[in-house]
Amino acid sequence: MKSNHLKILLCLLWLFMIVLPLLRMLSTMAGLNLFEVMTARKFSRAFWQSLNVSSVATFISVSVAGVLSWAVARTNVKHKQLISTLIIVPMLIPSISHGMGLIIIFGANGVVSKIFGLTGGIYGFWGIVFGSVMYSFPVAYLMLYDILRYEDGTPYEAAEVIGLGAIDRFFAITLPYLRKPLISVIFATFTMIITDYGVPLMIGGKYITLPVMMYQDVIGMLDFGKGSAIGVVLLIPAAVACVLDMVSRDSNRLSFVGKPHAIKDNHARDLVAKVIIFAVIVAIFVPIVAFSVIAFIKKYPVNMAMSFAHAARAFEIGALKYLANSLIIAVAVSLLGTALALFNAYMTARAKTKLSYFLHLMSIVSLAVPGIVLGLSYVMFFKGSMIYGGLVILLVVNITHFFASPYLMAYNTFSKLNENLESVGLIMGISRLSVVRDVILPQSKQTIVKMMSYFFINSMMTISAVSFLSNTFNKPLSLMIPQFEGQMQIECAAFVSLVILGANVMMKILEDFSLKLTR
């Protein structure tokens, strides 16, 4: 009975943290002539442009990730751990910074543009495509790498005994196995790209996408109704991705038996893999190096002398205060979010009642809500409330925005622990709290570390959900990037990106260290 009360409490919490805000957003569309909004020329152009650019970017992103994950998972290249670590570096900076990296290299005054005499064609369609690929392929890579790594090797051995060739093997075994997870990877990547506004804002130029239009409607014209209509459209791919993900997650579990893939010796193949990996890592680090350099140079390309002027300028207008904001938010989200996710997962995974499934669904709804949509719904729902305008609302929105992944990590870990532990406690008269504290949590240390790191890193770099909720008082550091971009101070924006990267790299190192410590 008591556990049901706690579950009802948690459901109520989610009601206020996600369901009601979304409903509030939907309700602003009531007085709106939806048909008119959707058929307006500006909207339909943004819609098709979003679709085009996201499709192309998704195709490239998943292709690169696929080839790369093959190169790492199915060959005998060395230092696989290090390679994977380097590949996820782009996941440690805001998407908007990737757009910036491209501008520095290929923009009107870009390094490469100057050398080759290009006229800055990077703005617009291709800029968005490449910027989006930059930050999305590591996510696709992580998913595909896991899929390839855990693929059962036995069918391949059987195929070899029968004498099937490489092409037949690919179509008979690999493709059928990959189909379902691949669809969910494609949708997850597509969702990430189509709902992002950092890259198109920075590099899109006149090529307006839906999130950018939504941002302009809300921030520029305070047109909440139109913003909400766009928000609803953006909910669709995310909702589809969420459902697909749940479906393939369940069916995948069955295939996770069997033995790992045996990798044969093949030097030619390994050489190809090495070249691919090297090329990708260079492509990842060139833009990062580019904005690292530009942040500390007087005025590119006129004056190449080293200078801290941009850093100083950033601090002058409050970088330190905003960094403090960011750190406070990130640490608080990391601690509170992890605690809430653990509590929530305990209720759904280990104190199972009929309510558990409902609570489980409530806990992963955020998976289907893009950050900007969540942010907009928070503006409308919490405006005028006590927490509006302070750090607390940013904390709440971030916990909600990033909740699903860490929650699922905890849920999976708790589900795998012996199901009778609490029964043993009941029989022996060991309180549930003791069992949780002394048995369950100690066995979940690694997961807890990963959850905390996930919340921290994402809170440090997010610019989506927080953008509508921030003011000069509570603004996090990441939002200085679009601000500087608007003021054409790309060097300062580069400096801020570097600071965020630094904080997140530190967090990653701390995470690795803690994981080793708790092993």
Partner 1 sequence: MINKLAIENVSKSFGNVAVLHDVSFVVRGGEFLSVLGPSGCGKTTLLRILIGLETPDSGKIFKDDADITTLPASMRKMGMVFQNYALFENMTALRNVEYALLKSSALKNSYNRATAREKAEEMLEIVGLEKFFDSKPSQLSGGQQQRVAIARTLALNPDIILFDEPMSALDVDMRLSLRAEIKELAKKFRTTMIYITHDQEEAFAMSDRIAIMNAGKIHQIDTPHNIIESPADEFVENFVIKNINIKINSLIHFQRKS
Smallest separation, CB 437 to partner 1 (Å): 11
41 or 519: CB nearest partner 1:
519
**Of 337, 453, 338, 320, which Cα lies nearest the Cα of 394?**
337
Q: What is the dihedral of CA 214, 215, 217, 221, to 10 degrees?
A: 170
Distance CA 487, CA 223 (A): 23
List 4, 255, 307, 443, residue binding partner 1 (CB under 8 A): 443
Helices 267-295, 490-518: crossing angle, 10 deg rounding: 130
443 or 514: CB nearest partner 1:
443
251 or 434: CB nearest partner 1:
434
112 part of the interface to partner 1, by CB under 8 A:
no
427 part of the interface to partner 1, by CB under 8 A:
yes
Q: Which tokens sit at 100? A: 């910036």
18 or 435: CB nearest partner 1:
435
Residue type, 71: A
34: which residues sit within 8 A by CB, 6+ positions away? 229
517 part of the interface to partner 1, by CB under 8 A:
no
Binding mask 358-397 for partner 1 (x = CB under 8 A): ----------------------------------------
415 part of the interface to partner 1, by CB under 8 A:
no
Long-range contacts of 263-266 (CB under 8 A, 24+ apart): 263/74, 263/75, 263/76, 265/76, 266/75, 266/76
439 part of the interface to partner 1, by CB under 8 A:
yes
438 part of the interface to partner 1, by CB under 8 A:
yes
Question: Is residue 366 within 8 Å of 18, Cβ to Cβ?
Answer: yes
420 or 487: CB nearest partner 1:
420
Q: Is the bond preceding residue 21 a cis peptide, omega within 30 degrees?
A: no
39 or 420: CB nearest partner 1:
420
426 part of the interface to partner 1, by CB under 8 A:
yes
Alpha helices in 153-266 (DSSP H): 154-162, 166-169, 175-194, 198-203, 210-215, 224-252
153 or 442: CB nearest partner 1:
442
Binding mask 87-106 for partner 1 (x = CB under 8 A): --------------------
Tell me the number of residues near partner 1 by CB under 8 A: 18
418 part of the interface to partner 1, by CB under 8 A:
yes
Give DSSP secondary structure letters for 61-83.
Answer: HHHHHHHHHHHHHSS--S-HHHH
Region near partner 1 per CB under 8 A, out of 29-37, 196-204, 234-242, 428-436: 428-436
27 part of the interface to partner 1, by CB under 8 A:
no
DSSP 305: E
Distance CA 278, CA 274 (A): 6
220 or 429: CB nearest partner 1:
429
Question: Is residue 422 within 8 Å of 347, Cβ to Cβ?
Answer: no
Smallest separation, CB 356 to partner 1 (Å): 16
- What is the pairing mode between strands 297-299 and 303-306? antiparallel
List of residues contacting partner 1 (CB under 8 A): 417-421, 423-424, 426-431, 434, 438-439, 442-443
